[in-house]
Every structure is written in structure tokens, then in C-alpha cells.
Structure 1
């Protein structure tokens, strides 16, 4: 009997049970119970795209388009950019609230990505109507919007303005979920902001779009190493040298990973394979360094003859060749492999791109992040209020993230906040709004005000006090 009870308990804690039950209840028009069961499924498995999608559809049926669209966008951004039916939902909801411009954009995206999809006929008719009667014409301009935002982000990154860069990268991805370059840039930016779980979300979507993308696979290796998922890390690192290399940047990207993780034998084989195809002084220098590290000095000396062709116009390279081939320097080189590798770009007078910046990744792997600080107990009601009003599509890390946001805000305050019973809601509202702004979630102030039953003045006062930057 005891075993049966345990099995029932396990069954009842299976999200699929609640999901299936929710769908059955929805078909029977028992909407309140359907909603409760779908919510339970999402609570048990918050990152399940199928559950999210069906909940978004359900919310659309309940005439809650803003909440539904947040879920649709969340799926396309963080979980599965190939769920093109989300564009149909986004378009229909936008049309329902009278935003014909956005509706036309979403319908264009659906037809662009899934021209033969289930809803393509209906969408073609709706898109035609919008363009005929609403003077709306997109002609896939979302592709240009995505590229423009990516370029803006790259400019901000050069200026070390990561916050603005992240915002532009999210916009680039929202405009075109298949912008892999933007996704890779965002993954790295989130890693540097110590938001590793969110970086993993974005990185996993690159694998869905293009499983052979070299930078995406390299970023995945760094993330696996950082999270200490050793078995998966070893497999990914072992496979990397055998993935197809399409260009020089990809070769250097893969070479950087192998150098950072001290896989120099594999590095030698990789660069030897592509050295003829991508023959230049930097690639030869990488191979020469790998030869020295792996004890293949005779090969290094042989290669130095080829590199000497380039040294006439590059004195620093000539000095480096002399240094690297000097037996007396072998120990020093072996102790500073990543530093020597990073130095190659300077020696060859070539700027280091983010995808193969060895020092950058090495530091990321070593950085343990900020010291853990506890939030004083007097602020607990603020967190509790934000949790009570949590939106369906918020990350499974929501509690941890809002605590982190509040801790930082409290630390930066010139004068401590002394919350009292009547003020908790305004600070909870400010915290949730700040969370949405920081993580680029489309949440209007008006929605927050209604949810927390406060005035706009109180919300603005709380935001001013907390002074959270975004």
C-alpha cells in the first residue's frame, strides 16, 4: 500500500499530468480549473516550451493578450526560436488590441520563416487585409531592424557599455530570432554580467538554429566548464576539433578554446588540417606556438622558415619567433600558455575579436563572481510581495534575481530604506518593474500599478528611492 501511495505522489508531481488535465478541462470550457492545472504544470517545469505555448494560447482565449504575448516572445527569445506559431499568436493578439503595425510585422515573420506552415493561408489573407486597408507594409524590414540593433550593440561593446549593448542585442533577437550572431554576442555579454543561467538559455537556442555554429559550440563549452557539468563538457570539447570549419574566424575561435583548456595536441591537428586553406602569419604563429608547447621543436623551427617571409614587415614577429624558439624560454612559455597565445594577436598586429579573445574567456572561467551578501530580514516582505504577483513567464530564477537586484539597490543607497507596512507594495512593484526593465520584458508601468493597486506616484517614488539603474 505504501508503495502505491508513493507512486501516486510521484504521478501527481508529474507536470505532464497537470498539463494534460489542463488541456482536457479547457476543451470542456472549465476555464478556471484549466488555468489552475496549466499553472501547476508550469510551476513544476517552468522552462517547458510546449507548456508555455499552450498557456499563451489559453491566455489569448481569456482575452489577456499582453500576458500571452510576453509568453510568446519569451519562447522565441529564450527557448525555441523555431516555434513559428508564436508569431501567429503574437500577430492575432496585436490585431485584437488594434495594433495593426505590430500585427503585420508578426504575420510577415510567420510567412518569412514558415511559408508552408499550418496558419500560412489565414495569415496571408490577414496580411493582405492589413496592407490593403491599414496602409501597413513591412516587406520584411524586421531583418534590417535586427542588423541595425546588432551594429549598435557592437558599438556599445567597443565603448564597454554592456548594459546598452545587451538591450540592443535583445532587440536584434526580438526582431529576428534567427540572428545567430546577436545570440552569440548576447551569450557572451550575459556571461560577463555573471548571468550564466540566462546565457545558457540564449546559447541553447543557437544550437536549435544551427547545431554546427562554431562560436555557439565554443560558448557552450565555456558555460559547461563554468557550471561544472564535467561529462557534457568533456564530450563537447572532444567533438569540437572535428566540427566543420567554414572560415578563418571559426578556426581561431576553436583554436582559442583548445588553448584555454590545454588541449594543445588537438590544437596541432586542427590547425594543421586548415593551415594551407587559411595560411597567414597569425595562423602559422598559432601552430608554431602549439608545436613548442607540445615539444615538437623541429616542426616549429621548420615552420619558422615560412613565418620569416612575413617578418620583414613586422619586427615584433621576428622578435617573437626568436623568443619562442629559444630553448631557455620553454618553461616560461609552458607556464603562461594563454598569455602567450593572446600575445600572438598583438605580435601580428591584429585586433582580437570577442569570439577568440583567450584572456577574456580565461578570466571568465576563473572569476567566482561577487561575494554572497544576505538581504536584511526587514526587506523580506518586499520580496514576498513581488513573488505573490509573479508573472507566468518570469524565469525560474525569479526569486534569486529579484533578491540580487534588491541587495545591489540597498548597497548603493545613500540612506537606508525603512519600509513600513503600508509601503511594502510600492517597493515590491518597483522591484518587479525594475526586473522587467533589466531583463527586457515588455511590462508597462500601468500594468504594475493595477496589479499592486498603487498609484503611479507611489511607484515612481519607490523607483526613485531604490535608484536601480537600467
Structure 2
């Protein structure tokens, strides 16, 4: 008897308890929707509501399936329950109710709901669709559309919205300033803290980013945005065990709010968890009534990254049809044909709905500008520039400073002013940054920490130096004027790189420029020589109206100065490929 009892106990340990929470029933409901089994999906959504009656998203899912089944009155009853008893701030319920009313041909009630929605959330997720729907209803009712009364938004809301736009446009310093002010004034404003952590991350302040996220999690342990951001940070910092622990948590989550699911799906993609990302994006496709073309790109990228070739082709084809002006789907569809013939290991596809950086640079019309317009407004590119300015070697920092001089906006000015006051940077680099500030029109005086002390430099003091530097700019412009149309565009880019490297190496003792054409001719000669173009010093000298000896003298100085430069070696290597 004891043996049998022991055997039974041992077997009982293998029994797995079935998880029967709201997430379980939501998953079952989604699977039923996949199979277009609406009655079963309705049953599971009702069970999810019973398990978590205080969760408004469960009620919204229930209202959604009722609407899909044509039971519009019942759907609106559920949505009214959400607004009256659970979450009065879930304003999108008014938009859903308007759609239900319109489907019942009650256009005046639909109009009322839409006006209420726009008054309560003028910048809400469905604001644009609500405006369009008001126009349609006005046509049906035979009168001008009703306009919502605009309510002034609170100052903190406006400031946070501005900060978010700065983040999206890559203006991280400006975003940081606003978000720090918000967090200080409203310590419990967790959305501002999460965005502040992102701003710190984008500007290379990783420890401050981690500390800020932990402040969020101390208040809200399950804050999805904070958990996602922390996982990405841990991966960047190489803290693998902490990263893996968080990834394990994230993969178990089943968000029912569209915004949260987007955050989770994109984060899983960034973390390289492509199978989990694919499932999350697929779930989003089921939840979105009007999916954006970008969602189909995300699904295509996840499909490729998990070996689902046909799915990738399908989703990129849909994106191309929906967004014919975007080059992104067509670019990847073209690559898909090549990849099918290529047996080598395929690259991972980025989840960003944009062309890869090298393609953006290739398509830039202004090849003489080292920072194409697409890069200027790209937050990822800006972030990489700022990170390199903080953590790169001296030569890299010099290159980044010159690139920032081409971008020349308010954000760049703030970055340079901070750079001048940091004790972590070389004095020679700060001299370059000072001159760039002056050249981009930043108002003086300029505060700079050099030689262990803080100094104030006037604009007048920089004016003399600026006139000398202007001459060196004229050299490059003269060279471009003679080379353009006679050489491939890639050689003009190399001329820019080589000239910047030369000035960087000679910044302590820049030679006097007696004639711009002499140095411009030498620059063209060196570039042509590196690329095997076969130009003699005499040929180049005649074109610029200078003597061959001048070209030879300047060319030798340029080659000797740049011989050890990383950029000189890179140009030499490319020219022999």
C-alpha cells in the first residue's frame, strides 16, 4: 500500500495546473477570431471580463466583438459601463460608440459622441478619423458639420507633448530639458519619467537612464514601458543575465491595449526575440480595425527574421499597395527576389519603417553634403552622433564635430555648449567646437572650460579666426566646382573626408592660404591619384590656373599629414577594391 501511495504522489507532481486567468481567455478569444468563430470569441471575452471586471480593456474587447457581430446596442451598453463605472478617462469609448451609432443609422447620436470625444481628447489616437467622420455625418444630415469646443489643455500636457515631439525628431537635449522640468514639478508623472529615461539613453547617459527607469518601477512595478526600456538598456550595456530575466517576463505578457502591445512587439524585435515579436505583431493586426502600412512592414520584418518568406512577401506587398509613395516595401520586395537566389546567411531586417541608412545616403541628391536631409531628421542617426561625441576617440570626435556643423540647428547648439563646459574633452576639440558655434550663428559670448578653468570668449575674438577658416571652406568649394560632373559622386565625398582629415591634423599650425586654387588643385590631384584616375600635376595645374610645382608641394604636404589618418587608409582601401 505504501509503495502504491508513493507512486501516486510521485506521478501527481507531473500534473500541470492550467492557468485560467483573463490572459488565458483573451488568448483563446484571439484564436477563435483567427478562425472567424465569433460566438466562441464572444464567450471567451465575457469570461475575461468576469476574471478582471475592473480592467476596462477587457470590456472594450467585449464591446468590439459585439460590434463585429452587429449587436451595436449591446456594444454601446458595455462601453457606457466603462465610462460610467470603470474608467471615465478612457475617451476612445466615445469614438467606438459613435461608430456603433452610425452603423444603426442614428447619425445625430453618432455626431454627439464624436463631438464629445474631440472635446475631451482633441489629440487622441482617433482624432483624425473622428474629424473625417464628422464631415461624412454632416453630408448625411444635410447641414454643416458640428465643431467641438476646444478646451485649453493644461500646461503640463502641452509641455509633455512638445517633449515627445522633440524625442521623435531627435532633439534629445531640448526634450531632456523639458522632461526634467516636468519630473521635478510632477514627481508622479510616470510617462514623463519614461520619456526622460529614453532621452538619457539616446544621449549616451546610460546610468542616468537606468536610475530613472528604476524610479518608475519603484512606483509601478509592472509598468510596461519601463520594463521594455530597461531590457533594451541591459542589452546595450551587456548585462545579459538581467536582460534575459526581463525578456522572460516580457514574453509572458499579453497586453490588451493597442499602444502597450505596439511597445512590447517593437521591444521584442529590438531584443532579437523575433518569434515572440512576430506573434505580438500578428496579434496587433487582429486588434487594429484599420492597420497602418508600417504594421505590415513590422510583420514582414518579423516574418523574414523567423524564416517565413512567403509571409514576408505577402505583408510587404500589402504595404506597397497601401502606401505607394513609400520606397520601403518596394525596396525589400526587390531584395527578396535576390535573397531567394542567394544561399548565404541573410541579414536581419530592421523593424524601422524606413530605408536602411546606406540606401538613404545613396538616394541623397546633395552628395557634397556629408549629412543628407534624411539623416538630419533621423533620431537614430542623431543619437549615434551624440554617443560618438561623448565616447569616441579623439579623431572620431573631430569628425562628429564637423558633421554637426552641417546640421546646424538649435539642438546642435545646445550639444556644443554642453560640450564646451564638460571637463572630459580635450582643449583642442573645444577650440573646434567654439569655431563651429560661431559659424552656425550661435550668439556669444561663449563659456568654455579650458586649461582647468572656465573662460568667456567673445564673438569678436572668434571673428578673426573665422575669416581664416572661411578661406579653407573656399578651398573645398573650389575643388567641388572643378570636380563635379567630371568624377563619380563617391570621389567628391572622399575629397570632403580627406580635406576634413587634413584640417583636423593641421589645426595647431594651419598653413597660410595665398591662393585658394592651389590647395583645391592639390586636393583633386591626391583624390584622383588615390583612385587611379591618372591625372598629372601639370593637367590639374592648368585647369586651376596654378603652377605644377604649387600642386606638387601642397599635395606632398597633404599626403604626409594624412598618411596615418584612419580616413586616408579607408579611402586608399576602397579605391583598390
Q: What TM-score do the two structures reach when normalised by structure 2? A: 0.35
Of structures 1 and 2, the one scoring higher in RCO (CA 8 A, sep 6+) is: 1
Instruction: Mark the structure with the bigger radius of gyration.
Output: 2
Q: What TM-score do the two structures reach when normalised by structure 1? A: 0.42
